[in-house]
Structure formats: structure tokens, C-alpha cells
Amino acid sequence: MLYDATDEQWREYRVTPRYLAGSDGTGDAGFAPVAHWPHHYLDEGPCQLLVSSPDQRIRIGWFGDDFELWKITAAEDAASGPHWSATFNHVTPGEIVAGLTTALEHDYDAGDHRFLARPSMYWTDAVKPLTDAGWIRRAPERGTVEIIAPDGQAGALVDTTLSSRGDKTIMLWAGPPGWGTRAEAVFTSRTPSHLIAASAAAMTDPTPVIRERHAIHPAVEHLVTLTPVHPPAPAAPRAPTPLDVRRTAVTQAVHRAARNPRTAADLRVQAARSRTAAPAPNRADGPRNTPVSTPPASLPAPAHRR
């Protein structure tokens, strides 16, 4: 089947809120901040693309066929195990992944090893962008805190207990429950707080993201605002029908009458004159003498006899 750019399913839309836009299936947005880092394309194994920092301490893996689409780690050196890890599932918008990869690229360029910093002792620092944006805090059960978006369609689940290395402590989520609708980003306990905050800030960013129509899950359609990137092309003009011609003629007649108004009485008088007017005299015959009648003289009154 040939690709048809005019089909509705391929039309591009600006989607808000961005955390419900889903993945575009390419990962371009997530890789964009580190596009200049070494790329390793792997033919075998679940990881199809690995982008690493030049010293290979930061690794960004793309698992194109797995539920956990992204796995991002940082280590003390190229040969060490991960100091922390973050995973993003196949529904997570790449623009949210870009929040983390942008922060990692910035930390690496700064050369201060901040991407290996100890997390803040206050868990609130990791989700501060959410609370600053007006997301609501609640405690669903002991040892956990949840931060919920005003629309109820996104949030952060925080484990506030003391966790050991490698435990999952914060999960960002968005969308209704379901394999194709729920986005999830999970961070282990030693992930620096500012990196989690960078991902959270990308969730609250009001800037729309662009998606083709088919990428929006049917179960999410009613929860997002879709604005066409390009308005539909105008329809080709059709040939006028006989009814169109008649309507145009009537409209033009009405406009002419409005420019030279006459009353109904004026029109009746004009019509009567045209029917009763005498024919004009024939100038070739010359003037005619019309006899004039003379009234008879008065008779004298009769004489009286004596």
C-alpha cells in the first residue's frame, strides 16, 4: 500500500499536554541532545542502538522491540557497573527522555562529574518542577507519596523509605493504565536528584509536541488537544449548477433595483402610459386644419300680443 500524505492518519498535529502524546517510534527527540556522541549500531541482541559519552561512562541504549524502550546508565568508568539507571517504556514521549539526555550532555561538558552526584537528602528536590507547576501532593499509603497533575492523567510515585542501591525509588507516569497508553519512567535510588527533576520539568513543559494522527492512541484522543500543523488544503471549486445560476441572476437584479429604486406605483403608471399614449404626428403631411364648431346664435324672444 502506497503512502499517501493527504490521508488523515498521516496528518501532523501539535499535541498538548505533551506527556500524553506517546512515542513517535523513532527516538529522535531523545537522542538529539547527544547526536554528536559516538553511535554504536548493534545487529544482535535487544539493544539496537547505543549512544555513549566519549569516555563511555554514560550510556544511552535504545531497545526498539522491548517494553522498556530506553535504558540510560552512568558509571564511575567505562569498565564499572552502573552507578544508577533510568528506564523509559515504549509509550514515553521522546521529548521527556530529552529532558534527561539534555541534562546529561550538559553535565558531561561541564566536566564536574555531576551526573554521579549523591542524590539530595530531600526527595522533594527531585519532583520540584511538578509541585512548582501546581501538581497536587497526596499520600496513598505509608512510605509513598504521589504527585498528581491537575487533570489526573500524569504523576510521580515516590518511595520515601530508605532504599538500597539499585532499588526503584521514583516513577514518573502519564496516561490511562494499559500496555499502549501508560507512559512510565523509572529511576533507581542513586540517580542524582537534578537529573530526575530535568525529566519532570520536560513533563510540565507546555510546549506542544508534533505527532502524526495515527500515533495518538484511541483511548487518549479525548484527553488531548490536537491542532493541525498545516491546515487542510482548500477544496477545488465546483462548476455552478442551474440553481446557482438562477440565484446569481436574482441577486444581481436585486442589487440593480437597490441602486435605482422605484415604487410599485411608479411602475404601474409607466406601464399605463405605454399602453395609452397617442401615436406621434407625421411631420411629412404638414399641419392639418381642424374645423371649429360655432355655437348657434341666441333666438329673439317672441313678442307678446295685445
Question: pLDDT tens digit string along 216-272?
Answer: 999 999 999 999 998 766 666 777 777 777 777 777 777 776 676 665 556 555 655
For residue 163, the number of C-alpha atoms closer than 13 Å in the C-beta half-sphere is 21
Question: pLDDT tens digit string along 42-99?
Answer: 878 899 999 999 999 999 999 987 789 999 999 999 999 999 999 999 999 999 999 9
- C-alpha gyration radius of the chain: 44
Start-to-end CA span in the chain (Å): 141
Question: pLDDT tens digit string along 3-21?
Answer: 555 578 889 999 999 999 9
Distance CA 87, CA 108 (A): 20
Q: What pTM, to 2 d.p., does this model score? A: 0.74
Mean pLDDT lowest among 24-28, 97-101, 145-149 = 24-28
pLDDT of the residue at 184:
97
Closest CA to 47 of 24, 26, 66: 66
C-alpha cell at 230: 498545516
Q: Higher-confidence residue: 135 or 276?
A: 135
Q: Higher-confidence residue: 19 or 162?
A: 19
Distance CA 169, CA 189 (A): 5
Name 245's Cβ contacts closer than 8 Å, sequence gap at least 6: none
Rounded to the nearest 10 degrees, what angle do helices 193-204 and 94-110 cross at?
Answer: 140
Mean confidence (pLDDT) of the chain = 84
pLDDT of the residue at 250:
75
Give the torsion sign (CA, 33, 39, 43, 47): negative
pLDDT of the residue at 248:
79
pLDDT of the residue at 292:
47
pLDDT of the residue at 1:
45
Distance CA 117, CA 113 (A): 7
Distance CA 253, CA 259 (A): 10
The length of the chain, given as a count of residues: 306
pLDDT of the residue at 270:
62
Distance CA 74, CA 66 (A): 21
Asked if residue 275 has pLDDT above 70, the reply is: no
Mean pLDDT, to the nearest integer, of 263-288?
54
Q: Kindly state the DSSP code that residue 127 receives in the 8-state scheme.
A: T
